[in-house]
Structure 1
Amino acid sequence: MGRTNPTYRDALRAIRERWDDFRRALRNRDQPRFDQLFAYAREHADASGLLNHENPLLPALFSIDLEQEARLDDHEQRLAEIEAILTAGEQPDTESESDQST
C-alpha cells in the first residue's frame, strides 16, 4: 500500500513552488539568500515531519531560525577569539619593559 498523506518534504517543496514568483521578483543578489533559507528548512525536514503540524510553513520558519541562531553562535565565537587575539597583542610585554629599564 502507498502512502496517502504527502511527506513533509513534499509539503516543503509545494511551499517553495508557491513562493517562486516572489523569488523571481527578488533582486539577483537576494535570490541565493532565499534559496539558502529553504535549504535550512530542508536540513530539519525529518524533525519537522515528525511534528506533523497542520501548517507546514511554521516548522520551516522555526528550522530557518535554528540555523540562523547556529550561525550567530558561530560568529560570536569567532568574534570573541579575534577580540582575545587583539587584546593579547595590545598588552605590554612586562619582561621587555623591565629589560629596558636596567
Structure 2
Amino acid sequence: MKEICEEAMDQVTTTGVIKLEGAKNWNVWWLTKDAKAQSLIVTRLSEEVMLHILTCGSANGMWRKLHSVYEQKSDTSIHIVQQQFFQYKYTEYMNKKAIPAFT
C-alpha cells in the first residue's frame, strides 16, 4: 500500500490532482481514494463499532458492513421514526431562523 501511495504522489500534478492515464494509473488513483475513505470512516468510529469492520478490505466493504449491522427495517423501528417525525412542533423561533423576515 505504501508503494502505491508513493507512486500516486509521483503522479500528482501542480494542481494537486492525479492525472489519469487510462488503465495505466487508474488502480493507483482508486486505491488512493479508497484509502482516504477508509481513513475517514475509521477515524469517526468508536472502538466498539470498529470491531465490526476489522476484516473489511475496502471502504465499500466497511460501509456495507456498517449498514447491515445498524440498518433497522422492522415495522417497529419504522413506526418509532414516524412517531418522532409527527411529534415535531413548529415554533415561531424556528420560523424566524429558517425564513428571513420580509420588510
Provide the TM-score with structure 2 as the length reference: 0.29
Greater Rg by CA? 1
| Higher relative contact order, structure no. (Cα contacts within 8 Å, ≥ 6 residues apart) | 1
